[in-house]
Amino acid sequence: MFHIKKMSLDDLGFAVRITDLMSWNLVEEDFKFMMHLEPDGCFVLLSNSERIGIATTVSFGEVGWVGNVIVSENRRKQGAGSLLVRHCVKYLANKNVKTIGLYSYIDKAPFYRRLGFKYDSEFSVLKGKSFSSPSRAGVREATKEDMQEVIDYDQTCFGASRRKLLEPILLNPHNLCYVSTEDDQILGYIVAKVYEEMAEIGPSVCRQGRNGIAINLLKAVLNRLQGFEVSMCVPKKESAILNMLKGASFSENFHVARMFFGRPVVKDCIYMAESLERG
Ligand SMILES: CC(C)(COP(=O)(O)OP(=O)(O)OC[C@H]1O[C@@H](n2cnc3c(N)ncnc32)[C@H](O)[C@@H]1OP(=O)(O)O)[C@@H](O)C(=O)NCCC(=O)NCCS
């Protein structure tokens, strides 16, 4: 009864409408970007010819990510969502992906567990208005010349090169990237994707256990984004970052569980996720 096809440009209106039901705030450009990153890995679920769900994937060598999993409300609990997720896993496995990550709503974790994903850790999705926050020395805005080093540095933490994702984000002149350096070596970086009135901070990757660097980078970006509505996804265990944000105007919107299918390779040096759908 259910079948799955590759997402095409004709499906973008549906993808936006169905995700609007969850207030994920995605626009057609977001799905175009996903299709640019993974042309064969964005899917639409159909019942006969009726579109009833979507899911997206992205592969970075041996690490992949699943996101935007959603089924029309009146078609749930009939096995459609499981079919969709299994299809994503199979697609990524065929691309030689060994580790698949996703961020799950807490109440959906049993659904993913049943499909072979294992709980890893929790992340808090925060929203608030950016505030004035001067940062200390050692942090500077990245230049084009830093891009290669940022991408290489990210790989040491993420476990695979996210070049195809990071390059377009870093090259977009609206976005911000700051690096923290010591003796000319990168100790961490942070990126903010800047839209008209809002911004999404992430990824931020720093040396494990050096959350002072992550805080300093975050301050530099918040300072630049004064007046913007900002969102970010921070590990729950990073209490110093969470307390700093909550002490200002930020509050937790919801929290999610990071889960992995296969061996978890991502190290404990992700201080902010890039996005829920891409890791
Ligand atoms: C998460 C979501 C995609 C699942 O889709 P779905 O089509 O309901 O998924 P399934 O039918 O395969 O599985 C859902 C449950 O129904 C059960 N089920 C499947 N077929 C069934 C049947 N014929 N009769 C009764 N129960 C059934 C499954 O065992 C599963 O139980 P579990 O959640 O306890 O593991 C759907 O709930 C959804 O779109 N939610 C809103 C968006 C969202 O939260 N997405 C996830 C982001 S992390």
In this predicted model, what pLDDT tens digit does every residue of 213-229 receive, in sequence order?
999 999 999 999 999 99
273 lines ligand 1 (CB under 6 A): no
Cα–chain-centroid distance for residue 274?
4
What average pLDDT does range 82-101 have in this prediction? 98
71 lines ligand 1 (CB under 6 A): yes
What average pLDDT does range 33-46 have in this prediction? 98
Calpha distance 128→250 (Å, rounded): 4
> Which pLDDT band holds residue 264 (cuts at 50, 70, 90)?
confident
**Residue nearest (by alpha carbon) to ligand 1 atom 9:** 81
At 208 the pLDDT is 86
111 lines ligand 1 (CB under 6 A): yes
How far is ligand 1, taken at its centre, from the CA of residue 115, in Å? 11
Residue 79 predicted with pLDDT over 90: yes
What average pLDDT does range 162-182 have in this prediction? 97
Cβ distance 272 to 63 under 8 Å? no
Residue 118 predicted with pLDDT over 80: yes
At 72 the pLDDT is 98
Residue 135 predicted with pLDDT over 80: no
Structure token pair of residue 143: 């230049």
Amino acid at 67: G
Residue 265 predicted with pLDDT over 90: no
> Which pLDDT band holds residue 207 (cuts at 50, 70, 90)?
confident
Which ligand 1 atom minimizes the distance to the CA of 256?
48
At 10 the pLDDT is 98
Structure token pair of residue 252: 């937790």
SS3 85: helix
How far is ligand 1, taken at its centre, from the CA of residue 279, in Å? 22
Residue 209 predicted with pLDDT over 90: no
> Which pLDDT band holds residue 184 (cuts at 50, 70, 90)?
confident
Other CB atoms within 10 Å distance of the CB of residue 114: 10
144 lines ligand 1 (CB under 6 A): no
pTM here?
A: 0.96
